[in-house]
Structure 1
Amino acid sequence: MNVRELLWRAVRARPRQMARLLGWSFAEAAPSFASGQAIAHALDDGFAAGRPVTGLGWLAVLAAAWLAAALGARQVLLAIAGIVEPFRDELLRRVVDGALHGAASSGLRPDTAAVARMNRQVELARDSFGAVIAVVRSFLFSVTGVMLGVLTLMGAVLPLVLLPLAAGLAMFALSLPAMARAQRELILAEERTSASLAAVVEGLRDVTACGAEDRVAAEVGRDVERQARATRTLARLTAVRTVSLAVGGWLPILLVLIATPALVRQGATAGVVLGTLTYIAQSLTPALGSLVQGAGVNGVRLVTALQRITATSARPPAEAATGRAGVPKGTSLRLREVTFAYGPGADPVVSGLDLAVAEGDHLAVVGPSGIGKSTVAALVAGILRPSAGRVLIDGVAVEEMDRAAMCRARVLIPQEAYVFRGTLGDNLTYLSGARSRAELDRAAEAVGMADLARRLGGYDAEVDPGELSSGERQLIALTRAYLSPSRLVLLDEATCHLDPAAEARAEEAFAARGGTLIVIAHRLTSALRAKRVLVMDGSRARAGTHEEMVAASGLYRDLMGRWDAPAGADARS
């Protein structure tokens, strides 16, 4: 359902409230017609003619009109509320229904932050809808009253009022598309900034653990700057509203004053001129100002908010639910001509890397220190973005994934494992949510952390990271990753503080766990255990089995030749 249909249904669904709104609008608009008439007759037929009682009588008519307007205004607000509040409830139902359906179809938890942002858009749409109804209705009734009043006073004055009004409205209408685009960009920029800040707050531990503070600050800074640019653009467009108001609301006063001598020659009295100016200054100009402000700000906000709500709350087609963009269902990995450099003028650390890792593969990445192995892991994890090329998980670009999809798709354990103060159970279930004791036991046994868990006093024991060795922290982080829902596991020298036997046990556990495993090798035994090996030598990278790399890569042969394998290391597992 598009925005126009949504608004039309909201209005059509409340016929009694609409009838009530229109009826009381006549009462509220009474001064629009009565003001000029009362002033003109009070002056010409009353005070100027020496009949003050008649003049006061006409002013009493004007006072009665304002009293009726006050009573009508109250009823108008109640009628608007009767239309707007059900509209808000309908939008909320659409947002919640879309979020729940999306979560059910994707298998992810509902993105509560996104729902909160959409709820803000719902409140914005509700307020804007009410404001638009109020100002459009007021403008139509006020302009009708003014035109009828001017026509009854002196028809020759009508073009002096009507033509500038039409010109001002035309200028304003022509500016609306640009204002709508600017308002939409501002809302999107606000959402991007809010989402970035929320992600930073939620992932602060991971940001710190990965040493990504500068990169994250730069990304959030770019979002803030985009929002600032959008705000400045929208502010510049407000000048058009001011010009429109000047032409349509204040130019008629100037024209009437300039034309007064000619009007007097045509029989206009002082009361007619003053009554006409009263119509313009007290009714027409305020009504036009409210319309320009209401439609220029609230109308654009309403359309933009509804577009966002309808776009994000729409249910995906059932047949497309398993392949929805941004939510990878598998763990296959593809790097297409990926290049990355740490800075605009720096030499690329990774250059033109083309790599395909099938779902269920077990890949070891080897090469000299500083060759770019950890950079590849960071690119796959989405911590770094390539300077050129694309990184795709199950065909979905990493940069297009939302936070929930990215967390579900992959888990990265860096060399310096992160453990926080809290219970051991909290540390282990940080990525997976609540787990039973049996599940924790199975994971700890598989990875090789069971003895450490017993020494620490069980899963309810408080953990002090400062009292743990580097190897113990790695065991906790590895078990956490094992329990996570992510099926693509990146171990970036995540076992470097373990002995060879413990390292082998952990890697074998992840290989048997299912999914895709990529190991940035600390020891070459990791390459012997893997199904395939990626050898990075700076100028090029090639992948294949251990035997293929021994035959094809001089660097790999040299690394193997200079490495004293422990007994039994050649036993492939």
Structure 2
Amino acid sequence: MNALRFGLAALPRRPLLALAAWSVPEALPSALLGVAVARAVDSGFLAGRPVVGLAWLGVLLLAAGVGAIGARQVFRRLGDVVEPFRDELVRRVVGGALRRAVAGQPDDGAVVRLTRQVEIVRDTYAGLIVVVRGFVVTVVGAAVGLMSVAPVIGLLILPPFVLGVAAFVATLGFAAERQRAAVRTDERLSATAGAVLAGVRDVVARGAEEHAAAMVAGPIREQAAAERALAGTAALRTLCFAVGGWLPLVVVLAAGPWLVRRGLTAGAIMGALTYVLFALQPALSRLMSGLGGSGLRFVVTLDRILTASTVVTASAPRPVAARGYDVVLRGVTFRYGPHAEPVLRDLDLILPEGDHLAIVGPSGIGKSTMASLVCGLLSPASGSILVGGAPAGVMPGTRVLIPQEAYVFAGTVRENLLYLRPGASTVEVEAAVEAVGASTLVDRLGGMEAPVRPDELSAGERQLIALARAYLSPAPLVVLDEATCHLDPAAERVAEEAFAAREGTLIVIAHRVTSAERARRILVLDGVSPDLGTHAALLSRNPLYRELHGLWHPGLIAGASPTPARPSPPVKPSALPGLPALRRAWPSDPADQGQPHAV
């Protein structure tokens, strides 16, 4: 019912009136069909005047031409009705998916709704308008013609026809349930198959083809069963068509002698049969095919789209007033896929507002994943993440994330810097550029109004622009996910010290040891038991941190205080004694793969 109400409400009034107006000439052939045949037989051919008979058939031909003009105008205006309806559906699907994402609720069916179901609804919506309008035009024209030929024949034909139509309409609810089941199984199969295909290389590499096939086998069987059940409704439609389409014909033929005794002519009976065979039967067939096939898909698929959007709207959290911008993780577990090993497991962390935290650990251990979770880009499998007392996905404007590959767009330097804070003054922009050490770069590019060509900038230059943009933003929480990895140590120090002095909270995915040493606290991820503490405390108690720190400072003796030294070049974790065996036991974090790391 929601889908029907939405479809009816979406009909624009003015284009709909134009369709109705042009349907009048289109109804003319249906109204004159039987009348012309009756007059051609009685007054022409049976009366020995073939010219008169041909003239009446010529009238029917002219009426068909007028009807063709009306049909052409109808189709020309069909887009004015359908396209606004499709645009509204796209807005609902995209808006619903975005609201789910902000609320931390992944929507696996959004893609199939947008790419397939919206198109199904748009096409079937146009088809239904054509079919229903054509059915009404034909039936009204045929009914007027039947009553003009002989009212008694109309009373014989129309009741069984109406009975067949009513029986067909009564089966639509039953068929709709089967269509809903088909749509649900289609979405489940799409989501499962998409997950398997996304990991096809891992499946082949690990020899897990049988496991992958078993994952999709169940959804395939469910969809096949739903499609077979849906096909069973075709038998009911055939029975309804027999009642509404063929029973009137049988009734007229059986009542032929009685009609002749009442004075009806052969032409009148032939005209009545013409209405049945060439007007009512085709109209009923098109109606059953349209409503019973694409019509059911329209109602069920549209209802699915509206339900998803309504659920999102109803379940989306109300705006929550932030209690500061502290970050709280409670029992957070995250895995990439339902059967994958957790990247993070039962992680608890409290990060007070204004804190400065560095996260260290071997490549693939979950550092970038944790950054994405805090920023609301990923949702935990279990546990909760609160930023300022609100779920991480509810208030996206409260944080800014700079990944390793910084994004710079074509435009001026000023436009790039103002992207997150359009209303910033020139003084504030220049102060941000100076703070992160990007003044030399801006001068070299030609000043604030100089054009930026991203492909002509180095990775480090793109990072400097992104850092200045983030520094200027009003977000009280900044997450640097190896955002300075392409800068030299001196430039990195300037940028990180600028963010540390900036009001707000700072989380740094450490790229060099100096990033960890500058932080107030350090979180060491080892895949088993995360350890949180200061630099000195971790050096004294955490073997992994000592080994990582020793890798950064090769001359460091365990337990000794670090001496100022130029950071050593990045070394892969496999070069660290004793780590290869541990690394093989750790779950891999896809968010870290393919990225250079200092550990």
What TM-score do the two structures reach when normalised by structure 2?
0.59
Alpha carbons of 1:341 and 1:87: their partners in 2 closer, same or farther (altered >3 Å)?
closer
Task: Find the counterpart in structure 1 of residue 591 from structure 2.
Answer: none
Task: Find the counterpart in structure 2 of residue 282 from structure 1.
Answer: 278
Does the CA contact (< 8 Å) of 2:354 and 2:504 recur in 1? Answer: yes
Which aligned pairs between 1:155-166 and structure 2 lie closer than 5 A?
A: 155-156=155-156, 161-166=161-166
Q: What amino acid maps onto 1:171 in structure 2? A: T
Structure 2 unmatched ranges of 5 or more: 103-110, 203-215, 550-557, 566-599
Identity of aligned residues (%): 37
CA distance in 2, matches of 1:27, 1:466: 64
Q: 1:364 aligns with which of 350, 358, 366?
A: 358
Structure 1 unmatched ranges of 5 or more: 107-113, 197-213, 219-224, 569-573
Is 1:429 matched with 2:417? yes
Alpha carbons of 1:341 and 1:277: their partners in 2 closer, same or farther (altered >3 Å)?
same
Task: Find the counterpart in structure 2 of residue 221 from structure 1.
Answer: none
Task: Find the counterpart in structure 2 of residue 410 from structure 1.
Answer: 400
Q: 1:353 aligns with which of 347, 358, 362?
A: 347
- Of 250-259 and 518-527, more deviation after overlay is shown by 250-259
CA distance in 2, matches of 1:125, 1:248: 22
How many angstroms does 1:447 deviate by? 1.4
The SS at the match of 2:175 is helix
Cα distance per residue 1:349-398 (max 9 Å; x no partner) = 43222334344432222345654334433444567665655656557766
Which aligned pairs between 1:457-468 and structure 2 lie closer than 5 A?
A: 458=447, 460=450
Cα distance per residue 1:176-218 (max 9 Å; x no partner) = 566588789999999x9xxx9xxxxxxxxxxxxxxxxx78999
Does the CA contact (< 8 Å) of 2:332 and 2:380 recur in 1? Answer: yes
What TM-score do the two structures reach when normalised by structure 1?
0.62
Alpha carbons of 1:366 and 1:216: their partners in 2 closer, same or farther (altered >3 Å)?
same
How many angstroms does 1:498 deviate by? 5.2
Q: 2:371 aligns with which of 362, 371, 377?
A: 377
Which aligned pairs between 1:93-492 and structure 2 lie closer than 5 A?
A: 131=130, 134-135=133-134, 137-138=136-137, 141-142=140-141, 144-145=143-144, 148=147, 152-153=152-153, 155-156=155-156, 161-172=161-172, 174-176=174-176, 246-248=238-240, 254-255=246-247, 262-264=254-256, 266=258, 271=267, 274-292=270-288, 295=291, 297=294, 301=298, 322-323=319-320, 332-340=326-334, 347-367=341-361, 371-380=365-374, 389=383, 393=387, 409-414=399-404, 417-418=405-406, 425=413, 429=417, 432=420, 438-454=427-443, 458=447, 460=450, 474-484=463-473, 486-492=475-481
Does the CA contact (< 8 Å) of 1:360 and 1:515 recur in 2? Answer: yes
The SS at the match of 1:281 is helix
Which aligned pairs between 1:10-21 and structure 2 lie closer than 5 A?
A: none
Does the CA contact (< 8 Å) of 2:121 and 2:297 recur in 1? Answer: no
Q: What amino acid maps onto 2:402 in structure 1? A: L
Alpha carbons of 1:456 and 1:249: their partners in 2 closer, same or farther (altered >3 Å)?
same
CA distance in 2, matches of 1:23, 1:453: 64
CA distance in 1, matches of 2:9, 2:372: 49
Cα distance per residue 1:93-139 (max 9 Å; x no partner) = x989x99xx99xx9xxxxxxx9x99x999998996796477346425
Does the CA contact (< 8 Å) of 2:189 and 2:223 recur in 1? Answer: no
Task: Find the counterpart in structure 2 of residue 199 from structure 1.
Answer: none
Question: How many residue pairs end up in the alignment?
Answer: 509
Does the CA contact (< 8 Å) of 1:241 and 1:292 recur in 2? Answer: no
Alpha carbons of 1:9 and 1:53: their partners in 2 closer, same or farther (altered >3 Å)?
same
Does the CA contact (< 8 Å) of 2:135 and 2:284 recur in 1? Answer: no
How many angstroms does 1:57 deviate by? 6.5
- Of 234-243 and 269-278, more deviation after overlay is shown by 234-243
CA distance in 1, matches of 2:150, 2:323: 69
Does the CA contact (< 8 Å) of 2:373 and 2:380 recur in 1? Answer: yes
CA distance in 2, matches of 1:466, 1:87: 42
Alpha carbons of 1:88 and 1:370: their partners in 2 closer, same or farther (altered >3 Å)?
closer
Task: Find the counterpart in structure 2 of residue 565 from structure 1.
Answer: 562
CA distance in 2, matches of 1:163, 1:129: 21
Does the CA contact (< 8 Å) of 1:245 and 1:288 recur in 2? Answer: no
Query: Could you say what the CA RMSD is over the residues aligned between the two structures, in angstroms?
Result: 6.3
